[in-house]
Amino acid sequence: MSESLSVVVTGGNRGIGRAVAAEAVRRGHRVTIVARRAEEGTAAAREIGARLVVADLACVRTTRHAAEEIAAAVPGIDVLVHNAALWPSRRVLNEDGFEQAFFTNHLAPFQLNHLLEDRLRRVVQISAGLYVTGKVDPARTPTGEDFHPMKTYAATKLANLLMLPLFAERWRAAGVTIDAVHPGVLRTGLGDRGGALGLVLKLVKRTWKPAEHAAPPVADLLAAQGTGRYFEESKQVPLRPPALDTALARRLWDDAAEALGVA
Q: Where are the domains of the chain?
A: 6-260
* Residue 6 pLDDT class (50, 70, 90 cuts): very high
Residue 186: per-residue pLDDT: 47
Adjacency order of strands within the sheet including 79-82: 51-54, 30-35, 6-10, 79-82, 122-126, 177-182, 229-232, 235-236
CA distances, 227 to each of 72, 103, 114, 221, 257 (Å): 27, 24, 17, 10, 22
User: Mind listing the pLDDT tens digit for each residue in 14-69?
Assistant: 899 999 999 999 999 999 999 999 999 999 999 999 999 999 999 999 999 999 99
Per the CB < 8 A criterion, the answer to whether 90 and 72 are in contact is: no
**134 SS3 class:** coil
Instruction: Measure the CA–CA gap between 116 and 143, rounded to whole angstroms.
Output: 26
Instruction: Measure the CA–CA gap between 165 and 142, rounded to whole angstroms.
Output: 21
Of the ranges 83-92, 100-109, 136-145, which one carries the lowest mean pLDDT score?
83-92
Burial of 179 (0-12, 13-18, 19+ CB in 10 A): buried
Residue 84, by phi and psi: left (phi above 0), alpha (psi -120 to 50) or beta?
beta
Instruction: Measure the CA–CA gap between 185 and 145, rounded to whole angstroms.
Output: 28
Per the CB < 8 A criterion, the answer to whether 80 and 116 are in contact is: yes
Residue 3: per-residue pLDDT: 86
Where does 103-173 have alpha helices with state H? 108-116, 151-162, 164-171
Residue 92: per-residue pLDDT: 97
Query: For domain 6-260, which CATH number applies: 3.40.50.970, 3.40.390.10, 3.40.50.720, 3.30.310.50?
Result: 3.40.50.720
Residue 253 CB coordination number (10 Å): 17
User: Mind listing the pLDDT tens digit for each residue in 180-234?
Assistant: 999 875 444 554 445 544 544 444 434 446 656 778 899 999 999 999 999 999 8
Query: What is the dihedral sign for C-alpha 176, 66, 211, 78?
Result: positive
